DNA sequence: GTTAATAACCCG
DNA sequence: CGGGTTATTAAC
C-alpha cells in the first residue's frame, strides 16, 4: 500500500488521523520489539480498516485531504461559515467488515515512494540489495541521526545569512564549520534546508534581517528585536561550551562593511575564484 | 503518547 | 541546487 504515491504524512492523517512522525515510529516499531502492546495496536486496527477500502476510495480520500490542506488559508476572519468539505467517505464498516474483500492486500507495508499501486502481480522486479558487491559496503545499520544544532550556532548561521545571501562558498562553509564545530556536511545541509523553508513555508514570522540601505518601512511598530549574544542577564540556559581546552576560538565574524573587493587579501588558496556569491536573489 | 519542528535523505 | 519526503527528537 505504501506503493501508492501517498506520503506518510497524508496516509497517517487519513488512516489514523495522526501525524507523519507517528507513522514513521510505528513502522520502526515493527522492527524493534517494543514491549508495547496496547494503544499502538489499536491504532493499527484503524489503519487496517482504512486499507480495506478499494483503491479508488482511498484515492478519493487522499485528494480530499490534500485539498483541504493546500487551499484555504487566507480566509482570515469571518468567512466560510459552512464547510461542505466535511463528508467523510463512508466509514460504516466499523464493526464488521464483512462482505467486501475484493482486494485483500497482503499488507506489504513497506517503503513506499514512487510507484502507484497498479501493478499487482508484477511487483517490484528485483530489489536486491547488493550486499557484497561494490565492495565496501559494509553494510551497516544506518541510523540516521539528527544532530542538534546549538542555539549559538544557529544564531551565527542566521546572521551569516543576513549578511551574505543564502548560499556560501566553500570557504565560508569551512569557516563556519570550524567556528561552530559542526561537520561541514551539516552546514551545507543546513543551508539547503533554510533555503527551502524560507521559500515555501515562509509565511508569517520570519524576520529577515537584511535590507540595509533600502528604506524599508513598515507601518508596523513595536518592532524591536534585540540581539542575541549569549545570555543577557537573566539566567538562562546553561550551556556547556566547548571550552575545555582552554582555547576556543570563537571568533566573531568580522563582517565587512563591505567586502567584495578583496584588494589585498587573497585567499590562501591558490586558484581561486570564489565566486563572490553575493547573490541576492529576487 | 502524540504533535510539531527540523536535520538528513532522495529524486529531479 | 531545489523540492519534497522521511526519520529523529524535543516539547506538549
Say which CATH class A2-77 falls into. mainly alpha
A185 CB closer than 7 A to any strand C atom? no
- Alpha-carbon dihedral sign for residues A21, A22, A28, A33: positive
CA A178, distance to chain mean position in Å, is 25
d(CA A133, CA A216): 59
pLDDT for residue A56: 78
pLDDT for residue A165: 83
pTM of the predicted structure, to 2 decimals: 0.64
What fold is seen in the domain A151-207? Answer: Arc Repressor Mutant, subunit A (1.10.10)
Nucleotide minimizing C1' to CA distance for residue A17: B2
Q: Which positions of strand B lie within 7 Å of protein CB atoms?
A: 1-12
A264 CA, B6 C1': Å apart: 40
Do the beta carbons of residue A135 and residue A27 sit within 8 Å?
Answer: no
Do the beta carbons of residue A218 and residue A191 sit within 8 Å?
Answer: no
Do the beta carbons of residue A65 and residue A13 sit within 8 Å?
Answer: yes
pLDDT for residue A227: 47
A193 CB closer than 7 A to any strand C atom? yes
Do the beta carbons of residue A258 and residue A144 sit within 8 Å?
Answer: no
Q: List the domain boundaries for chain A.
A: 2-77, 151-207
Footprint of strand B on the protein (CB under 7 A): A 17-22, 25, 36, 38-40, 43, 113-114, 142, 144-149, 154, 185-186, 189-190, 192-193
- Two domains, one topology: A2-77 and A151-207: no
In order along chain A (282 residues), what is the average pLDDT of each group of 10 residues? 78 91 87 71 86 79 75 56 52 46 48 45 42 52 83 88 87 90 92 90 60 51 48 45 46 50 45 47 44
State the helix-helix crossing angle for A151-163 and A170-179, rounded to 10 degrees.
Answer: 150
Q: Which positions of strand C lie within 7 Å of protein CB atoms?
A: 1-10
Amino acid at each position: 500500500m505504501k506503493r501508492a504515491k501517498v506520503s506518510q504524512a497524508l496516509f497517517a492523517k487519513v488512516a489514523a488521523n495522526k501525524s507523519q512522525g507517528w507513522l514513521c515510529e510505528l513502522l520502526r516499531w515493527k522492527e524493534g520489539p517494543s514491549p508495547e502492546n496496547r494503544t499502538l495496536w489499536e491504532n493499527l486496527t484503524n489503519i487496517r480498516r482504512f486499507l480495506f477500502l478499494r483503491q479508488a476510495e482511498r484515492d478519493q480520500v487522499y485528494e480530499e485531504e490534500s485539498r483541504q490542506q493546500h487551499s484555504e488559508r487566507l480566509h482570515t476572519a469571518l468567512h466560510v461559515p459552512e464547510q461542505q468539505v466535511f463528508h467523510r467517505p463512508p466509514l460504516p464498516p466499523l464493526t464488521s467488515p464483512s462482505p467486501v474483500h475484493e482486494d485483500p492486500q497482503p499488507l506489504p507495508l513497506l517503503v513506499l515512494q514512487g510507484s502507484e499501486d497498479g501493478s499487482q502481480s508484477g511487483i517490484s522486479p528485483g530489489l536486491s540489495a547488493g550486499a557484497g558487491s561494490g565492495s565496501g559496503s559494509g553494510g551497516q545499520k544506518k541510523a540516521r541521526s539528527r544532530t542538534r544544532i546549538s542555539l549559538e550556532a544557529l544564531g551565527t548561521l542566521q546572521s551569516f545569512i543576513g549578511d551574505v545571501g543564502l548560499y556560501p562558498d566553500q570557504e565560508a562553509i569551512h569557516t563556519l564549520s570550524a567556528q561552530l564545530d559542526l561537520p561541514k556536511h551539516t552546514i551545507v545541509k543546513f543551508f539547503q534546508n533554510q533555503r527551502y523553508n524560507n521559500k515555501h513555508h515562509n509565511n508569517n514570522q520570519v524576520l529577515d534581517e537584511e535590507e540595509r540601505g533600502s528604506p524599508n518601512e513598515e507601518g508596523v511598530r513595536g518592532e524591536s528585536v534585540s540581539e542575541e549574544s549569549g545570555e543577557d542577564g537573566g539566567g538562562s540556559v546553561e550551556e556547556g561550551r566547548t571550552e575545555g581546552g582552554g582555547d576556543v576560538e570563537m571568533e566573531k565574524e568580522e563582517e565587512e562593511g563591505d567586502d567584495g573587493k578583496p584588494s589585498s587579501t587573497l585567499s590562501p588558496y591558490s586558484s581561486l575564484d570564489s565566486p563572490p556569491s553575493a547573490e541576492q536573489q529576487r
